[in-house]
Chains A and B, each alone.
Chain A
């Protein structure tokens, strides 16, 4: 897609999001935004580094708990709580990443899943997380004198933070660092032979992805005023894969679109079909993999290219 056209697209989306609370229930959009940030962070690994992590729920859930604890028990200011959650997820990402990048391919996916399950059990057993009940009644606090217990105030904070996170990921992808990540994705052996310390780049990408996922989890705690175990469950790790896949792996907007579709779908279906939701998610998974590997945004880009007569790779 023509790079000059991008700023216009961004501005249009931002304008739409600025007026959105007048049109749609703000909590739903905030949830979409949280998962959009989460999926973009995940896509940095899968789409741009070629690493399939099946353990990203650990960062979302871990940060959600840390922020909830910081705000509720330590009574930290809201922004400090967000920062703490993000840093905690980065630290966790550093530990998990250093272990998991020692294996490639399928083993990487399996070890991240198992390590995330370890985190899940630790959260389940720890006292500060409140076990099965989770941490409830987390105060939203205030920022710059704005009382965040108002959904509208909180919405603009979430939007600002999400836009910042999105910008950070966009910058990363288009930086020299991002180019090296793509080189690793395309051909790891060649990147090694060119003299890049591949493991360090992978670890850095992993930590960055974990930190931004943590930020998403911290925001989610603010939105819902609670942190629960389901954030850290492997189902959530699967969901973020699905969002990215559905939207389009390795596209900038794909994860956002995927998150919007999945969150809305779950919201609509949750009361109506019960546990059939899992079946529907599984079905979308299978359909994407079999027929839709480029995802919604990927297919749209391919269509656009065909229309302006460019050759599709």
Chain B
């Protein structure tokens, strides 16, 4: 059997893995949004800008410092996390007392500033970034060729997501986090430094976005505009999945990436909107989201 519904099998599987790669980015970004939302009760609109910064830092590290992919993989997420932590400490922290919408608007403003700043310096055109040598080429699976880099992205993202789930659900640190989410004042009364945890949570969330940016650098043109369109899709993913559960965000992200990939095969015109259409359907039939509690 070489065809399914008239589509050659290799093409189908190719789009499937590409969908999983995109799904990995959705998963990491929506996981970061969910972690931040759980702790800070805000939606980080600058998440797309952090993802873009991750990719741009990766490119800049090579261009200006001669630091390759592996260094970037280690340093860039930390760099993005530091930027995030500085913004949290200096700006975001002042708004926790107020309506959630002010924090949303502040992060929107920050996203505009970051994106506009990079555009001013680097222009809108994307820059190419080569796949590192060790991850070039493809595995021959017999029935298809699987590019190594795609396998790598999916593996890293799954590992990171599972690790996050493990830390939050199964460790003592995670227990503190969940307690602080549930009742910050009481947790603080027990002697746990809640503001520090808030800061680190935000740093971790945007660091995840930065890591997604590093992973994305060799798969797409690296440019200042790569974050803003992605973040809107990720918002739709979050509305579909709900932010109540970590595994829920990850599964929704991966699943929608696959659906998007398959749409590219069977009905390419709709691939840009399929996630939004699914969101509309979910809103209609299951307003709380697939994994969500009623918000």
B112 touches A110 (CB 8 A): no
B108 touches A277 (CB 8 A): no
Per the 8 Å Cβ criterion, residues 64-114 of B in contact with A are: 91, 94-95, 98, 100-102, 104-106, 108-114
In the complex, per-residue mask of B264-294: 1 if CB is within 8 Å of any chain A CB, else 0: 0000010011011101100110010100000
A285 touches B284 (CB 8 A): no
In the complex, per-residue mask of A111-137: 1 if CB is within 8 Å of any chain B CB, else 0: 101110110011001000000000000
A176 interface hit (Cβ, 8 Å): no
The smallest beta-carbon distance between B99 and chain A, in angstroms, is: 9
A285 touches B269 (CB 8 A): no
Contacts of A52 in B (CB 8 A): 101, 104
CA distance A152 to B112 in the complex (A): 36
A283 interface hit (Cβ, 8 Å): yes
B104 touches A283 (CB 8 A): no
Contacts of A103 in B (CB 8 A): 239, 283, 287, 295
B116 interface hit (Cβ, 8 Å): yes
The smallest beta-carbon distance between B292 and chain A, in angstroms, is: 8
- Out of A102, A109, A122, A290, which one reaches B283, CB within 8 Å? A102
B113 touches A279 (CB 8 A): yes
With A107-B295, A122-B273 as known contacts, state yes or no: A277 contacts B116, CB within 8 Å.
yes
Most chain B CB inside 10 Å of its own CB: which residue of A99, A103, A284, A289: A289
With A110-B43, A276-B120 as known contacts, state yes or no: A241 contacts B105, CB within 8 Å.
yes
A113 touches B116 (CB 8 A): no
In the complex, per-residue mask of A20-59: 1 if CB is within 8 Å of any chain B CB, else 0: 0000000000000000000000000000000010000000
A282 touches B276 (CB 8 A): no
B10 interface hit (Cβ, 8 Å): no
Of all chain A residues, the one with the shortest Cβ separation from B237 is: A114
A293 interface hit (Cβ, 8 Å): yes
Interface residue count for A (Cβ, 8 Å)?
41
Contacts of B105 in A (CB 8 A): 241, 245, 285, 288-289
Contacts of B279 in A (CB 8 A): 111, 114-115
B109 touches A286 (CB 8 A): yes
Most chain B CB inside 10 Å of its own CB: which residue of A121, A276, A278: A278
A106 interface hit (Cβ, 8 Å): yes
A279 touches B120 (CB 8 A): yes
B119 interface hit (Cβ, 8 Å): yes
Q: Which residues of B contact A (CB under 8 A)?
A: 37, 42-43, 91, 94-95, 98, 100-102, 104-106, 108-117, 119-120, 228, 232-233, 235-236, 238-239, 269, 272-273, 275-277, 279-280, 283-284, 287, 289, 295
8 A-B pairs with CB atoms under 8 Å apart are A100-B283, A102-B287, A107-B239, A115-B276, A278-B113, A278-B119, A281-B112, A286-B91
Contacts of B295 in A (CB 8 A): 103-107
Contacts of B114 in A (CB 8 A): 282
A196 interface hit (Cβ, 8 Å): no
A238 interface hit (Cβ, 8 Å): yes
With A114-B235, A283-B113 as known contacts, state yes or no: A238 contacts B284, CB within 8 Å.
no
CA distance A125 to B91 in the complex (A): 40
A114 touches B109 (CB 8 A): no
B113 touches A286 (CB 8 A): yes
Contacts of B100 in A (CB 8 A): 105-106
CA distance A125 to B269 in the complex (A): 8
With A104-B295, A275-B119, A290-B95 as known contacts, state yes or no: A114 contacts B113, CB within 8 Å.
no
A195 interface hit (Cβ, 8 Å): no
Most chain A CB inside 10 Å of its own CB: which residue of B100, B111, B239, B284: B239
The smallest beta-carbon distance between A98 and chain B, in angstroms, is: 8
The smallest beta-carbon distance between B56 and chain A, in angstroms, is: 15
The smallest beta-carbon distance between B235 and chain A, in angstroms, is: 4
CA distance A279 to B113 in the complex (A): 4
With A100-B283, A275-B120, A289-B95 as known contacts, state yes or no: A106 contacts B109, CB within 8 Å.
no
Contacts of B109 in A (CB 8 A): 281-286, 289
- Out of A117, A285, A293, which one reaches B98, CB within 8 Å? A293
CA distance A289 to B103 in the complex (A): 8
Contacts of A241 in B (CB 8 A): 105, 108
CA distance A284 to B112 in the complex (A): 10
CA distance A90 to B239 in the complex (A): 24
The smallest beta-carbon distance between A182 and chain B, in angstroms, is: 15
A224 interface hit (Cβ, 8 Å): no
A234 interface hit (Cβ, 8 Å): yes
Contacts of B113 in A (CB 8 A): 278-279, 282-283, 286
CA distance A188 to B269 in the complex (A): 41
With A111-B283, A117-B276, A290-B91 as known contacts, state yes or no: A279 contacts B239, CB within 8 Å.
no
Contacts of A3 in B (CB 8 A): none
Contacts of A104 in B (CB 8 A): 295
